[in-house]
Amino acid sequence: MTTYQEFIQQNEDRDGVRFSWNLWPSSRLEATRLVVPVSCLFTPLKERPDLPPVQYEPVLCSRANCKAVLNPLCQVDFRAKVWACNFCFQRNPFPPSYAGISEVNQPAELMPQFSTIEYIVQRGPQTPLIFLYVVDTCLEEEDLQALKGSLQMSLSLLPPNALVGLITFGRMVQVHELSCEGIAKSYVFRGTKDLTSKQIQEMLGLMKPAATGPQGRPVAPQDAAASCRFLQPIHRVDMNLTDLLGELQRDPWPVPQGKRPLRSTGVALSVAVGLLEGTFPNTGARVMLFVGGPPTQGPGMVVGDELKIPIRSWHDIQKDNARHLKKATKFYEALGNRSAANGHSIDIYACALDQTGLLEMKCLSNLTGGHIVMGDSFNTSLFTQTFQGVFSKDHNGDFRMAFGGVLEIKTSRELKVCGAIGPCVSLNSKGPYVSENEMGIGGTNQWKMCSLTPSSTLGIYLEVVNQHNAPIPQGGRGAIQFVTQYQHSNTQKRIRVTTITRNWADAQSQIQHIESSFDQEAAAVLMARLGVFRAESEEGPDVLRWLDRQLIRLFMFHLRRSPFLQVFNNSPDESSYYRHHFTRQDLTQSLIMIQPILYSYSFHGPPEPVLLDSSSILPDRILLMDTFFQLVIYNGETIAQWQKAGYQEMPEYQNFKQLLKAPQDDANDILETRFPMPRYINTEHGGSQARFLLSKVNPSQTHNNLYAWGQESGAPILTDDVSLQVFMDHLKKLAVSSSA
């Protein structure tokens, strides 16, 4: 008998699923009492190099409102060549191609090890991937040069048949025509005018000519790719586009003293979405927005061009002082929804020292599954490497990205779907599986994810609907089927089907079993997602209160302090950025985000994880902290002095050199795999950057608890935040008092 630990790990590896509970309480009442809902983190496209896709269509249940896929849980009558659907119990005949099956000759989808299986299907024409660059030209010269370099580099990473497009913007928006010889052509839009999709297509000349042409001759049918001059196969326009990018100039319009450059991000995106909408609806496409500042004019404007008026802060938002916030958010939301409806995803690469309006624009990426990357400058490795990471390839040489994903969930009748939290939009598919109780994006059992990576993870929230007085027979099992249809990056259409099952348990008699099946990590992340989802839509303090009421668990101390819920010391953009990543990363990464990992390197022994506590900060230690977004190497006071003294250069102190190198090597390992690239900070005791570490650790010693002074047990943190000890004490008090 394997432990739950192993079972959970095994299930995650095979199916990409982590459940909060691995035994399910058998009635609604019991489930509610458990506080943490039956829910799971599901990674639809978890990399499974060991799983070869099969080259045929899945077999579907013939019941119109079921259509579940044949899976290992189905009962099969090999003689009658019929199978019973385990969700609706419909008996279905096998299709003629399955005539040869028998107990010894089973198709893959019936084998238990293929609880997750991938089908390659032939549906519709294969369309190449589309990459539409939307580039801000209101950048500093240095930034622009760096960005141009990155963009030119990215061209070489694209498959030759991929379609590329280029839109640049500043005060105006330019859509570049790519296939022209001798003269560089572009269509220009005013940056202040909101245009409808139809107007944009008309102005770009994409509308079909009137039915009766002036000459009356029929217009030759052309495929969309040939007719669209703005999106061209990379192999055809490589040179042109490289030159075009090379000649890209900073926005030439003068920026008067005391003004921000006029940046028409809103219109640029609107044009990009309109262009794709008109030419390639329902085809995998990435709009990649590169911005170096906030939108300052036209629809989607986040801040005016007067420098004396700063961009909104949390303070302004709370005071309802953010003039453009609502309007801009509404604009970008509408745009994001349009884009999502057409299956196009939008990435935002924002590099600036100040905010760039991610708060308003985040929905573009959140709704369409696009990336958000935030950095200080395009001229940093953070950006360049993250950007390269977008184009990383798997072992088959295919991009780690997929498009147009549609996830459908089918459940046994005792369960219903409450909702999902992650980079998806509802497809509003009402059906027997949908619960009235909404958690996250609910009211549907189908979601669309315009863009997916192997690590894209959704939190799925379920509800046990079985009534208390209708007991499930002993040994009954519940099942959930995840059907993910998507466009693979090699343009194949694929369907991945994951069917999982768990046992039902009576909470009254088997409470200890249920308890032991609890996955603390999964539950933490799932609850945190709920918290973040609420934080996005509700006022901050209410969410904290809700969380406190819901849970008394250790990690919640860190979650409470995390930037996902706390906005103090974070700009609205940063909050949006952190939340964006939190709601899409897989469990491991999410955990790191909630409770950063702290490793200690010293001469006293091998590297070891230490408590995220100020007591861990000792003079003779090197600390490596990973918060997902930041990677901090912190040299203790003594270490720092040694380093300054240059001991590591001396042959007799080789060991010190190695000690210094060890955390750096580990950091590099993380840097290589992490997307987006974390901010890499190498600091020391008393260094200005040490604040990254100090703000994260548990302030067990502060300037307030005087007894700690003078002891050799870590570093005091100058904060008024309560320490874990105080927090726990308080919790205990609350737990025993009846008023809690």
* Chain residues that interact with other proteins, rule: CB under 8 A: 172, 174, 182-190, 193, 195, 202-205, 213-215, 247, 249, 252-254
Q: Which is nearer to other proteins, 184 or 726 (CB)?
A: 184
Q: Are 19 and 40 in contact (CB under 8 A)?
A: yes
CA distance 657 to 427: 57
Shortest approach of other proteins to residue 134 CB, angstroms?
17
Q: Which is nearer to other proteins, 232 or 444 (CB)?
A: 232
CA distance 560 to 541: 10
Q: Which is nearer to other proteins, 267 or 690 (CB)?
A: 267
Q: Which is nearer to other proteins, 15 or 251 (CB)?
A: 251
Q: Are 427 and 498 in contact (CB under 8 A)?
A: no
Shortest approach of other proteins to residue 309 CB, angstroms?
25
Please give the structure tokens belonging to residue 714. 């870590």
* DSSP H or E stretch at residue 335: helix 325-341
Amino acid of residue 717: I
Q: Which is nearer to other proteins, 138 or 367 (CB)?
A: 138
Shortest approach of other proteins to residue 291 CB, angstroms?
20
Q: Which is nearer to other proteins, 176 or 286 (CB)?
A: 176
Alpha helices (H) along 369-493: 381-390
CA distance 372 to 349: 6
CA distance 380 to 382: 5
Q: Which is nearer to other proteins, 144 or 479 (CB)?
A: 144
Shortest approach of other proteins to residue 175 CB, angstroms?
9
Shortest approach of other proteins to residue 183 CB, angstroms?
5
Q: Which is nearer to other proteins, 247 or 652 (CB)?
A: 247
Strand-strand pairing, 130-136 and 285-291: parallel
Please give the structure tokens belonging to residue 405. 């994903």
Shortest approach of other proteins to residue 184 CB, angstroms?
4
Q: In what order do the strands lie in the sheet with 17-19?
A: 17-19, 39-42, 458-464, 415-421, 441-442
Residue 496 burial by Cβ neighbours in a 10 Å radius (0-12, 13-18, 19+): buried
In DSSP notation, 95-139 reads PGGGTT-BTTB--GGGSGGGSEEEEEE--S-----EEEEEEE--S
CA distance 716 to 153: 47
3-class SS string, 80-97: CCEEECCCCCCEEECCHH
Shortest approach of other proteins to residue 608 CB, angstroms?
60
Q: Which is nearer to other proteins, 89 or 253 (CB)?
A: 253
Q: Which is nearer to other proteins, 273 or 479 (CB)?
A: 273
Shortest approach of other proteins to residue 687 CB, angstroms?
44
Please give the structure tokens belonging to residue 165. 């497009």
Closest CA to 258 of 311, 307, 309: 307
Closest CA to 197 of 300, 130, 270, 282: 270
Shortest approach of other proteins to residue 301 CB, angstroms?
17
Q: Which is nearer to other proteins, 111 or 184 (CB)?
A: 184
Q: Are 166 and 176 in contact (CB under 8 A)?
A: yes
Shortest approach of other proteins to residue 241 CB, angstroms?
14
Shortest approach of other proteins to residue 327 CB, angstroms?
20
Closest CA to 587 of 114, 23, 9, 14: 9
